[in-house]
Amino acid sequence: MPEQYVYSTMNYFDELITLLHEEQQFDKLQHENLLLKSSLNERRMQGVTWFPIQITDTELGRGDYLSVNLNRTNHYEVEHKFRFGMPVCLFSNHDPDQDRIEGIISSINRDGMRISFRVDELPEWSRRGKLGVDLLFDEYSYREMFNALEKGKELSRDAKQGSFVRRLIGQEFIPIASIGDFFHHHGLNTGQNKAIQQILEASTVALLHGPPGTGKTTTLVQAVKALLKQYNKQVLVVAPSNTAVDLLTERLDAAGISVTRIGNPVKVSEHLQELTLDAKIDRHPANKDIKTLQKQVRTYTEMAQKYKRNFGKAEREQRKALFDEAHRIRKDVDKIQDFISADVLDKSQVITATLVGSNHEVIRNRSYETVIIDEAAQALEPACWIPILKANRLILAGDHNQLPPTVKSSKVANHGLSHTLFEKLVDRNPQLVSLLDVQYRMNEQIMEYPSVALYNGLLRADSTVAQWSLAVDTEPVLFIDTAGAGFEETESDGAIFNMGEAHFIKAHLNDHIGAWKASLSIDDSLSIGVIAPYRKQATLLKEVLDEEDELRPFNDLIKIQTIDSFQGQEKDVIYISLTRSNAEQQIGFLSDVRRMNVAMTRAKKKLVVIGDSATIGSHPFYREFIAYTEAIGHYHSVWEWDISAI
């Protein structure tokens, strides 16, 4: 096939821009409705409001912004949605409609954040009533995505410079280098070594397909080391979520690679914090000059703030002079910080960030020989173009048989926004795909059905895990059929749950957890995950299991979450409550089998699936799974247990 072969992809970026506009409007409306129509407590429980908060410190920060440090004072258990770079609003309950000031999150952890406000000092109302923080709609991320799409569109029309973009969108053929046999790492299997070999030889893009438990992250880390050795140029490594970026950052650092994390990690560990740009700036020898100047800034600012509001012309001029001097010194601080930032970044072999974070002001104008996007099958394509346009060559890693990116509007999702760049490239260029086919997580019986259903039967279990099981258990995977037991689903305010399944799981755990724990050696641990496709069912499961006295000694062993929240995790034992049980055979988003793939492949030694065959059996994926459990003798009816008390 000639290099200039053109695929029929007219208006590629225009279509993405249109879809993204629709998603933005839908997302904005949802968020505004949440803020306007929900009570303060509802917003707190949704993770979009902290109230009341405690201000711990204020100082004049970079670019003449006032930096305010604050902590939340309650609801620590609620997973909040505040993230670095997002817009927020500080408000007072004295007059919440009027007493409001907007700012940007410049640092965030679980229970504290730093907000930058474009003011010299907080308004007078901040000293009245209790204060809170609302999360505003994230215009910034959308703006970055739109800008990237417009740049991609423009570049694709450039005859000389646009070939890289045109290849990625299918308008030009991607040449393939002849794969040699030069790369070998003794700690990797054959498939992993071949994948790195293909990454090293890729002229435009390489695709790493990593099914669950196949060592995708391990392969990526070794690929980065090989790229640094071959090209001796800085690599940008990004992912759609902060959690994924944190994992990669720690693994790269553990491999002896000099890595700098841009943005604030979600995982709050001291060592991870040390890898951030902010922490490295703090440790830089030139930073002592900054601290001296910052002390001067605080002195002048405090002197200015001592003036009362009812002062005359002379006092007003003096106050202004003090603020002006503070601003002048602050500009000197900014210059030193710019020097330190550049020095730290220049000495880093790898920079890590989220997709949107890859355009952070400190690295906005940097370009890279290689950009790696991990979890690319979960990445919204418009966001991917932000780092892609900084690259000469691209590596995408992920698994399109697991959960897709989050798209708020089902209409937009159905029109193609949920279809990722990773999927498109896999479909158009299967020759560029390296499949990791040896998994190191699951007993082979747990692995077998997902492998056949979704990976063409290509997965193999490594000998170290193939026979993994709990010592007293002979069924690594089983299906418990609730058909006819009366465990019907309930719908309340659009939320679906199944009380019968929740209580059965409680009873089953009661019967087995003690024996599982007792069978382990003193050095072994036991981990259990209880997961459901619906948030309401996960909440119900937590309530039901928490109220069981016999399970309380094992509370620390059991984690209960939705399937979507469990991606990336693994446990010795996994219970899946399918939840759906109705006469109409409606299974909702269980029909997206990628969700079920994630659920099944979290289990290492035992998988227990509970569901109503009369409902879920209408779908081929579940019908064939039930047939698989029957074939291996691990199908059971719930009637084999005493369910009279359930």
Mean pLDDT of 291-317: 66
Nearest to 65 by CA among 117, 16, 26, 23: 117
Residue 269 has pLDDT above 90, yes or no: no
Per-residue pLDDT tens digits for 585-640: 999 989 999 999 999 999 999 999 999 999 999 999 999 999 999 999 999 999 99
d(Cα 178, Cα 403) in Å, to the nearest integer? Answer: 33
Mean pLDDT of 217-230: 97
Q: What is the pLDDT of residue 9?
A: 43
**What is the residue-wise DSSP string for 140-201?**
HHHHHHHHHHHHHHHHHT-TTT-HHHHHHTTSS----PPP-S----TTS-HHHHHHHHHHHH
Q: What is the pLDDT of residue 480?
A: 98
**What is the residue-wise DSSP string for 544-606?**
HHHT-GGGGGGGGGEEEEEHHHHTT--EEEEEEE-----TT---GGGG-HHHHHHHHTTEEEE
CB-based burial, 587-601: b 16+ in 10 Å, e otherwise = beebeebbbbbbbbb
d(Cα 277, Cα 366) in Å, to the nearest integer? Answer: 15
Q: What is the pLDDT of residue 7?
A: 39
Nearest to 626 by CA among 563, 560, 562, 578: 578
Per-residue pLDDT tens digits for 78-96: 888 898 888 999 999 888 8
User: What are the two backbone dihedrals, phi and then psi, of residue 610, each rounded to the nearest 5 degrees?
Assistant: -115, 125
| Local confidence band at 312 (pLDDT 50, 70, 90 cut-offs) | low
d(Cα 398, Cα 376) in Å, to the nearest integer? Answer: 5
Per-residue pLDDT tens digits for 111-136: 999 999 988 788 889 988 899 999 99
Q: What is the pLDDT of residue 603?
A: 97
Nearest to 501 by CA among 483, 477, 519: 483
Per-residue pLDDT tens digits for 328-384: 777 767 777 788 889 999 999 999 999 999 999 899 999 999 999 999 999 999 999
d(Cα 104, Cα 114) in Å, to the nearest integer? Answer: 9
d(Cα 171, Cα 165) in Å, to the nearest integer? Answer: 9
d(Cα 257, Cα 533) in Å, to the nearest integer? Answer: 38
Neighbours of 37 (CB within 10 A): 9
d(Cα 523, Cα 464) in Å, to the nearest integer? Answer: 18
And the tokens for 124? 């007078």
One-letter-per-residue 3-state SS of 213-275? CCCHHHHHHHHHHHHHHHHCCCEEEEECCHHHHHHHHHHHHHCCCCEEECCCCCCCCHHHHHC
d(Cα 629, Cα 458) in Å, to the nearest integer? Answer: 20
Query: 385 versus 296: which is more confidently predicted?
Result: 385
Q: Calculate the CA 572 to chain-centre distance.
A: 23
Amino acid identity of residue 422, one-letter, is F
Per-residue pLDDT tens digits for 492-542: 888 999 999 999 999 999 999 988 888 776 557 899 999 999 999 999 999
d(Cα 283, Cα 265) in Å, to the nearest integer? Answer: 18
**What is the residue-wise DSSP string for 394-432?**
EEEEE-TTS-----S-HHHIIIIITS-HHHHHHHH-GGG
Q: If residue 492 lies in a helix (H) or strand (E), which one and from where to where?
A: strand 490-492
Per-residue pLDDT tens digits for 383-441: 999 999 999 999 999 999 999 999 999 899 888 999 999 999 999 999 999 999 999 99
Residue pair 83/105 in contact by the 8 Å Cβ criterion: yes
Nearest to 374 by CA among 561, 235, 198, 183: 235
Q: What is the pLDDT of residue 120?
A: 75
Task: List % helix, strand, coil for the chain (3-state, nearest 5).
Answer: 45, 20, 35
Side-chain-side CA neighbours of 130 within 13 Å: the count stands at: 8
